[in-house]
Every structure is written in structure tokens, then in C-alpha cells.
Structure 1
Amino acid sequence: MFPDLPPGARVALLQPGSTPYVETVVGLLAAGVFPVPLDPHLTAVERERALADVDPVLVVDTPEALASLHASIPPARRHGLPLGRPMHVTSGTTGRPKAVFSGVLGEDAATALLQEERELWGFREDDVNLVVSPIHHSAPLRFATGTLLAGGRLVFAGAFDAARLTELIATERPTTMFVVPTHLHRLLAHWDADGAPDLSCVRLLAHAGAACPPDLKRRLVETFPPGSTWEFYGSTEGQFTACRSEEWLQRPGTVGRARPGRRISVDDRGTVWCVVPPHARFDYFRSPGKTAEAWRATAEGPAFTVGDLGRLDDDGYLYLDGRREDLVISGGVNVYPVEVENALREHPGVVDVAVYGVADAEWGQRVCAAVVGTASVEDLTAYARERLSPAKRPRTWRFLDELPHTPTGKVLRSALG
């Protein structure tokens, strides 16, 4: 099977995470063939649309198909040099999902891509990476791949369960993990009730994917070994920053400075742009128009954006203010949900919050907030009045037991409006 796949071909993978899965990803990339990791729980309509967009030569959607493909890849190639990045499909928050395509890289560029991750995160042969998030997402697959290629071992937690994850930490003694803030919140709540495991084995815990509430961030730093916790800001398209939690303590709210080899700028509309080295560039597969919209020429080289809004301080630390597609325009005033959410999260009676806009005959859009916690409407209204200008104050409050999230921890605002 494997020798018949030409360089540049796509192979769709719709299976849960496992070491053979990650070895298959590496083996395909080492031959210049592009794995397309997809959620195995896609509905029939979602699957049909995704497969039509990436036009795979092979669809691997059963354990038997994965085992067969894995067996057809020579063992050495399963740990070979990836000649590109997996073709991940974006979440499609602005419309139809887009497949991010690196193209086949030459050996020098491929080596630079591998070394960049290894030098930043320090992957080594004695690492044990506990895979917490679904493997079809880019961040957990990057950490798993980096560990595998350094000679380390992978442990898969499966569907998130705080008790199961706690047991794995105690028995498998992982050295690295990638999580999202939702995972952290649930883990710490479980540990408060039943006790925390020995975390001295952890040298790297990285989180991303959603805003981390300040109180949760401080607890993270207190709970895990000193110097072990990081936040990074990135997207399916590329990586922007990395930030030790100790830096965050000095500059609360930052997502860090540009990663090595990158240059970040913010234009006059607040849009964040990032210049990346040649090995980190991408196209949207068979979408030249969308690709052109994402890139612009700068004096330092081509820069891309995913529409995020932010600001840089004098030392180059980036602070995010939201996404352009999340923008709420109320009474002619631009309201960025992240700014309002960050203010409300400081209330002691708020566990989680999501801000969104709904159509309003008078205001154009009305600012709304969905809240998880014990605070009352009166408490929150008074709190917002003290901290937010009139246009930014929610006019409608909803109280939920839990916010709707994607598997990567991002709030599904579309399910709230």
C-alpha cells in the first residue's frame, strides 16, 4: 500500500491517538506524503465536506486500516525526518474550514523545522509525553511527534477524565504534557477534592487554545514544579509566541514574545502579524484567494495573520484583545469579547464566562454574557459598571452550568448567540 502513495498525496486519518498513529504520521511525512488528521467523531456531513476539500488518496477510518498502513511503512521511516507538517484543517469559525498546507520541504528546511521545536521545548529521549488532548489537533500532535522523534515514549489518556489522568500521572510519571485551560480547571478541582499526585516528574506543562483566567494561571504556577509551566500563542497556521509562566507573573495577561526566528507586529487596526522563517510558511490548500488574504509583504519578509487583535508593549510582549470575527459592534462602538471576559473573570463569583453579540434593533448588536459561577445579575452589573465603559457592559446575562467548548477548549460562541 505505502509505496504506491506519491509525494504530495494526502491521507486522511480518522482514528483515536496511539503510538502507531503518530509513527504513521511521521512515516508518511518522511516520504513527502501528507497525513490529514481529522476528528473520528465527525458527522457524515462534516466528514464528506472535509474529505472533498483535501481530496485524499486514502481514508484511514478503522483500526484495521491504520494497522495495515502502519505495517506498510518501514520501521526506520516511522522515525525519519518529516518533510513538512501534517495538513490540519482549521476549525472554520469564519466559514468553511481551510486545510493548512506546508508543501514538501527540502532536507535543510525540514531539519530546521524539526530543530526549532526541539530547541524550544527540549525534547529528549527520556521524555514521557502524556497526550491529553485529541491527537487530530495540531498542538498535541506536535508535542507527541517531537517526543517520538527524540526517542521518548507516548502515553495516551483517551477521553478526558480527571481521575484517569491523575492515575496516569502517578503511574506513568510523565515529563511533558500539553493541556488547555478547561483541562486545568477540571484537574485542579479534582485534586482539591481527592488530592493531587506527585508532580515532581513534570518538567514541561504547556497550555494554549483559550484564555487562561488569572486565578487559574496563578494556581498552575503554585501547583507544578518551578519553571515547568509555559503558555504559547499559536494557531493551526503557525506559532507566534512562547511564555514561561514566571514571565506572565511579571506581565499578567501577556502571551509572551515572538518565538525564535519570528517577528511580530501589530498594524493600525490592531491586527497581529507574524513573519516566519521559510520552513514555517503555508498555503490554504487549493485556496489562493484565502492564502493571499492571510499574507502580506514586509521589510523583514512575508508575514501572516489569522485575524487576531492585540498590542505589543515596549519590550515586545504581546497581549491579545480578541479575534476580528468575534467583534461585537454595539451602538457604533467596537467591543472585543476577550476584553470584557478578562474583566469579568476577576469577579470571585465567576468561574468561566463567554461574551458574544446578538442582533438588536436599537443597538445593532447587544453585548451578552454567559456565566458559570455563583455571582448574581446585580453583582455582575455593578462589577461591570465599575470596570467597563457603557458600550462594553453586557446587557443580557445567561447563567449556565458549563459553557459549550470545542475539544481544544475554545468556547463555541456560535452555540450561545
Structure 2
Amino acid sequence: MSAHTEVPVVRAADSEVDQRRVAGELAARGIGAGERLVVSASASPALLAVVLGALRTGVVPVVLDPALPTGERAELVADADPALDVGDDPGQLLGEHDADLAPFPLARPMHYTSGTTGRRKGVWSGVLTHEDAEELAREEIDLWGFGPADRHLVLSPLHHSAPLRFAVHTLLAGGEVLLPGPFDAARAARVITELGPTTTFCVPTHLQRLLREDVDWSGFRVLAHAGAPCPEPVKRAVIAALPDGAVHEFYGSTEVQFTVCTTDDWLAHPGSVGRARPGRTLTTDDRGQLWCAVPRWARFEYWRAPDKTAAAWDGDRVTVGDLGRVDDDGTVWLDGRREDLVISGGVNVYPAEVEEVLDAHPDVVESAVFGVPDDDWGQRVVAAYVGTPTPAELAAWARERLAPAKRPKSTHRLDELPRTSTGKVRRLDLPGQLGL
């Protein structure tokens, strides 16, 4: 570790010792497979030990955002019905006695979906057989090639599914995890340059900010990003900065993982999200909704919400409501989410399609498109953007490239777009922010 940048390093062997202590403490408290354990703590070696120690005994950690308002947290805890809630103190489960661990997690953590449309839903996978547990872990480890030589950099909060999944599987594969704390671009740049991580998961916002810093990217073999569309100029700059083939994108959700897009795939099909992960097949229905056939170990249900579960599944195929298309060669393109749909004068307008046009302007960094009520049209299309063009210039750009119904009726320049902690644009906040 550099003398300049002190960062907690979680080593697989050390973590396994702590995981066994967690397993022993859970057993001593009479908490067994299939029961829930709530934890809402910032990233730490203890948090990772508690998550893995629980999972490797079949106890299901419910990992909540430590910044949740008290009322919202209480609602989620009541819904999860846990055997234990350790709050922000996972260290209390580092007991004095060890217990055996399964080789692989016997469950997936239960995360609550972001709740952009209605009440949050818990994503529940139950307790896995040992065979399915190994298949699930092997799929992730093999996909990213995790191994003992890896040093994984955590840039996103661990209460989200993707960053936790990357950290957990790095440790399962014998590697190390770096925990530099809440994201700060200058600090992250120093960590990358001085400690030479080999892998990371991030969102486009991280990349935009890191590209402004002095970073030595040469140690990375995998930089995976997801969570939000990445503006093409940012993507190309990252590809140019990193070793050949290191930049990967993937498309997935809290519920299930769908695709992976390698550097070569993206350069051949800019704007796509790649092809289906191994063992999966993506198709679309007549409404353009994406469905994914998944292996047995990737199944889930919505916790205590059988109607929502039934609506998501059709045999072994599942949808989370995203819209897109699949080319003949299997390349997948996203067109937006059903709940993002803007209906103006009876015409369906998909924000992703309009954003793609606005983002293509050479002086636009990124944009977000949404609908607001309109007495004449039902809804009208509005755009917010980050960049240097004037609203009039961007409107002229759109007028040349979009059909009348799809053109933003007003454009608003902002210093930055509001986002969730995972980097997704909070479209629903924009009308209020802009006074619309």
C-alpha cells in the first residue's frame, strides 16, 4: 500500500477468517438458512465479512442504504421481516467462535429495487442448492475472470447489487478489495495511480469525473460500467485511456443480469449493450419489451408480491419492463423503459431515442428527456442537458433530426443532472427542479 494514500484492503484469506466468525455468531443466535439479516452500513471489511458469512450459511443479508430516512428504512425492515437487524454496526457479528462455511454463497443478498415507479420491491432468490450455488458463483467469476491476482476497486456504494456482486466474487476467487470510501474523483484517481487496481465497477458519472483527473489507468484488465447510458464521447475517451479490451459494459438490473458488451463489440456497434451473457437468450415481444430466458440459478421472485412476480415471468423468461431490440447477430439495443414512455398527441416517444440525438451534438455532455402534462397534447416532451449549446441551438439541432412529435418543446441547460447514488438520472425530479 502506498504511503501517500491509505485505503483499507480486504484480503480474501483475512475476510474468510472473519466470515467464519460471523457464521459462528449467527449460529449462536439461532439464525439459520432462509432467514433475513438486515444491515445498513457504509463499505468496510466488516460489512463484506457479514454479507459473505451470512450467504455462505444460507442466511440472506438485506443490504440497505445507510442514508435512508428513518421512516423509509422502518418500512423496508418491516417488509423484510428479519431475524436480526444490525443497523450500521456489522462488526457486532464478528463473534468469538468459528463455524464452517459453504464453498459458495447459498443465497443472493436481498436488495430493494430503486422504486422509481411505486413502492420498492424486494428481490428474493431463496436458498440455493449447493449445485446451483456453485453455478451462480462460477458464472460471475468466469465471466470477469476473477482470480487471486486481482485487486478490485470499489467506487460505488455496496448497498447496490452490482458493486457488492463484484466485490464478493473477487474475494471468493481469492483476490483483494480496495475500499477508498465515498466517491471523490481526485482521491479515486490517486488510488488508481498509486495502488494499481486490476478491476473496477463504475457508472458513467464516475468516468466523466475521472477523465478530468491525472490517472494512470494501465493496471486495469477489466473496467465494467453500467447503471446508465454512457455518452459516446465519454466512452471513446475511456477506451482510448485504458489498455486494449479492458472496457466492458453490461446491461442488467437488481433482479437479473442480461448482457455484456466488450470493447470490440461496442466499437462495432456503438450505443449497443452487447450480447446475452452465457446461458441466456434475449428476445422481444410485439410491444418491444425485452425478455430474457435465464438458467435455474438466476431465478427470483418479488418478496411477498406474487402478482408482481407472476407479471415478470413467462416460463423461464423474465422481463423488467425495458424496451429494446435484438439484431440478427444477437446485439441488444435499449430503447428505454415502459415507465419512461412519453405519450404526446397519441404518439409514443421513448426518451432514450431523443437523448441519443441530443447527445450526438458535439458540445452536449449528456441529456435527459421526460414528459410533462400538457392540456393539448396530454404530455409534451422536455429535455434537460449538460453542455455549452444554447437552448435555441440545441432545439435547432433536434429539429433537423427528429420528427415533430419527438422534438423537445423546451430545452433547459443545467450544470449537472440529478442522479441516484448508482448514477441513474432521476428523471422524475427534473420537472420539479425546473419548475415545470
Q: CA deviation at 1:171?
A: 2.3
Corresponding residue for residue 264 of structure 2: 246
Corresponding residue for residue 222 of structure 1: 240
1:85 match: secondary structure: coil
Q: How does 1:5-404 map to 2 (within 5 A)?
A: 5-63=31-89, 66-71=90-95, 74=98, 77=101, 80-189=103-212, 191=213, 195-197=214-216, 199-297=217-315, 302-404=316-418
Provide TM-score, normalisation by structure 2.
0.91
1:367 match: secondary structure: strand
1:163 match: secondary structure: helix
Per-residue CA deviations over 1:217-248 (Å, capped at 9, x if unaligned) read 11111001001110000000000000102211
Q: CA deviation at 1:19?
A: 2.2
Distance 1:21 1:376 in 2: 47
Q: CA deviation at 1:157?
A: 2.1
- Give the letter for the 1:243 counterpart: C
- Give the letter for the 1:304 counterpart: V
Distance 1:266 1:249 in 2: 24
Q: CA deviation at 1:168?
A: 0.8
Question: 2:204, 2:226 within 8 Å by CA — same for their partners in 1?
Answer: yes
Per-residue CA deviations over 1:373-413 (Å, capped at 9, x if unaligned) read 11112211110011111100000122211110000000001
Per-residue CA deviations over 1:296-350 (Å, capped at 9, x if unaligned) read 13xxxx1110000000111010000000000000010000001111110011221
For structure 2, the 5+ residue unaligned runs are 1-24, 432-436
Distance change (3 Å), C-alpha of 1:73 and 1:139:
farther
For structure 1, the 5+ residue unaligned runs are none
Q: CA deviation at 1:62?
A: 3.0
Tell which deviates more after alignment, 53-62 or 333-342.
53-62
Q: CA deviation at 1:80?
A: 3.7
CA-based RMSD: 1.2
Q: Between Structure 1 and Structure 2, how many residues are aligned?
A: 405
- Give the letter for the 1:56 counterpart: P
Distance 2:80 2:57 in 1: 18
- Give the letter for the 2:69 counterpart: T
Distance change (3 Å), C-alpha of 1:132 and 1:75:
farther
- Give the letter for the 1:352 counterpart: E
Question: 1:243, 1:256 within 8 Å by CA — same for their partners in 2?
Answer: yes
Question: 1:24, 1:73 within 8 Å by CA — same for their partners in 2?
Answer: no
Question: 1:335, 1:392 within 8 Å by CA — same for their partners in 2?
Answer: yes
Q: CA deviation at 1:84?
A: 1.4
Provide TM-score, normalisation by structure 1.
0.95
Per-residue CA deviations over 1:205-226 (Å, capped at 9, x if unaligned) read 0000000111111111100100
Distance 2:365 2:72 in 1: 32
Corresponding residue for residue 18 of structure 2: none
2:112 match: secondary structure: coil
Distance 1:204 1:127 in 2: 10
Distance change (3 Å), C-alpha of 1:236 and 1:177:
same
